[in-house]
């Protein structure tokens, strides 16, 4: 700590805490400002784009020469490490373990003891579920049973608290998603907090675990290695994602080589799982897609069938098939109250923006799933075809705000339509609404 640095005017906060929540709103048309909640963040606001926290603590003189690590998970643990590292592998035979599943997420307690001269010097109790995951060209299999992945992309922040979520909010969010029929969660676009994974492990939610940048520099590879080591024993994690929409490089030979570096490290540290990369690309194979085990699509739904025709042995996944930012239960835009029925710029005085394209469905040999919500994930199946009219059976979609016992029936429109009509059906009758 630099003793000359004065922090006497700083105010005390309780952790967890997100400094950005306390920033004022700004009227700035810049896209990155709008996507950060109209707060003064980003390149135009260097003075408020980094939050500094300082913690004072004392170390006994007897600890001189030791190496310490402050872990910023809950920002309160102090962990002492020995200046050595190593790998120990054990094969443990289990008799009749209870299998972890989405409906019965049973976790066993595993107690790890570190002994020195027969005395326990450290211990840790881990919660772990036993399950199998297989990702093939004909789908995802959990414990040997085929599973249709119904997923969402979620950023880490929450209204009112920003990125500093209390632990309970993690469980609250995952419970809501499960009640809506969601079974998979993509950590867009960065490693998650351990408390989120705790909630997914214990409540039964699969996780696509994503790292932020497709960058093979020592710093980013070190980050990737640390996230693999930290969370490779997590029951909920079913797949790694090595990046998202790195448009400058993901179709180039350099991008391909960087992806190979990530995949080599992932296989070295976790050979039990596979990996994908979220690409906003159509029927394009050059670059990352040449080497990635599972090809993922962000939007570009019109190209899925053609890509599968050309590369039938590569499993496909829809990782981000819509960005429908809406206000639940609202069907009319209100710029004063800040509510919106569709993707809209609601900064003060800002015009409404709606993306082109409407609802669409991916019809596969095992059924269909509407990818019209915010980044629904589905497992690819063989021979996908697209229905762009409502002449065939309508697809179903679990919609935020409606209970799990209800279904949303969406009538796909033409490629250029920017609206969709849905109906809620349930025991209480039938109500219609359009947006």
- Checking 218-225 for CB contacts under 8 A at 24+ apart, the result is 221/261, 221/262, 221/265, 223/191, 224/262, 224/265, 224/266, 225/265, 225/269
pLDDT at 243 over 50: yes
Q: What is the pLDDT of residue 186?
A: 95
* Short-list 412, 423, 312, 296, CA closest to 359: 412
Listed ranges 109-123, 267-281, 384-398, 401-415; the one with the highest mean pLDDT: 267-281
- Enumerate domains of the chain plus CATH numbers: 8-84 (no CATH), 145-434 (3.20.20.80)
pLDDT number for residue 433 = 29
Among the residue ranges 87-91, 207-211, 261-265, the one predicted with the least confidence is 87-91
Task: Burial-class residue 46 by CB neighbours within 10 Å (0-12, 13-18, 19+).
Answer: exposed
Task: Read off the tokens for 50.
Answer: 């980094």
Q: pTM, whole model, 2 decimals?
A: 0.65
Q: What is the DSSP letter of 220?
A: H
- Rounded Cα distance between 429 and 407, Å, is 12
Residue pLDDT, tens place only, 164-196: 899 999 999 999 999 999 999 999 999 999 999
* pLDDT digits 0-9 by tens, 308-324: 999 999 999 999 887 66
User: Using one digit for the tens of pLDDT, what is the confidence trace for 8-65?
Assistant: 888 888 877 888 888 899 999 888 787 777 889 888 898 888 888 887 777 788 877 7
Q: How far apart are CA 38 and CA 48, in angstroms?
A: 13
């Amino acid at each position: 700590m630099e003793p000359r640095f004065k922090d006497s005017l700083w105010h005390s906060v309780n952790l967890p805490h997100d400094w950005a929540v306390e920033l004022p709103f700004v009227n700035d048309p810049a896209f990155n400002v709008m996507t950060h909640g109209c707060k003064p963040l980003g390149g135009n606001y260097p003075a408020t784009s980094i939050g500094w926290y300082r913690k004072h603590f004392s170390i006994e003189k007897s600890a001189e020469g030791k190496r310490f690590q402050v872990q910023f998970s809950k920002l309160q643990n102090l962990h002492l490490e020995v200046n050595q590292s190593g790998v120990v592998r054990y094969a443990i035979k289990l008799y009749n373990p209870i299998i972890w599943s989405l409906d019965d997420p049973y976790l066993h307690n595993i107690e790890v003891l570190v002994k020195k001269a027969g005395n326990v010097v450290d211990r840790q109790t881990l919660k772990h579920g036993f399950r199998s995951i297989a990702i093939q060209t004909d789908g995802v299999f959990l414990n040997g049973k085929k599973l249709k992945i119904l997923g969402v992309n979620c950023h880490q922040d929450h209204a009112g608290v920003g990125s500093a979520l209390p632990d309970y909010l993690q469980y609250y969010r995952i419970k809501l998603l499960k009640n809506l029929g969601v079974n998979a969660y993509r950590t867009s676009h960065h490693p998650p907090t351990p408390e989120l994974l705790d909630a997914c492990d214990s409540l039964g939610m699969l996780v696509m675990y994503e790292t932020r940048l497709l960058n093979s520099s020592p710093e980013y590879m070190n980050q990737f290695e640390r996230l693999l080591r930290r969370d490779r024993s997590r029951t909920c994690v079913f797949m790694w994602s090595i990046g998202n929409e790195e448009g400058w490089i993901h179709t180039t030979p350099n991008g391909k080589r960087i992806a190979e570096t990530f995949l080599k490290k992932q296989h070295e540290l976790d050979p039990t799982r596979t990996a994908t990369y979220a690409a906003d690309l159509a029927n394009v194979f050059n670059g990352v897609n040449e080497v990635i085990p599972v090809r993922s699509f962000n939007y570009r739904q019109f190209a899925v069938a053609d890509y599968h025709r050309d590369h039938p042995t590569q499993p496909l996944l829809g990782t981000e098939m819509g960005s429908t930012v809406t206000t639940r239960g609202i069907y009319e835009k209100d710029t004063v109250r800040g509510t919106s029925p569709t993707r809209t710029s609601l900064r003060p005085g800002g015009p409404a923006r709606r993306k082109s394209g409407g609802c669409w469905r991916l019809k596969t040999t095992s059924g269909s799933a509407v990818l019209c919500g915010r980044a629904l994930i589905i497992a690819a199946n063989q021979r996908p075809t697209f229905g762009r009219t409502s002449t065939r059976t309508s697809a179903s979609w679990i919609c935020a705000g409606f209970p799990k016992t209800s279904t949303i029936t969406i009538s796909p429109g033409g490629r250029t339509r920017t609206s969709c009509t849905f109906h809620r059906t349930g025991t209480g009758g039938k109500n219609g609404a359009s947006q």
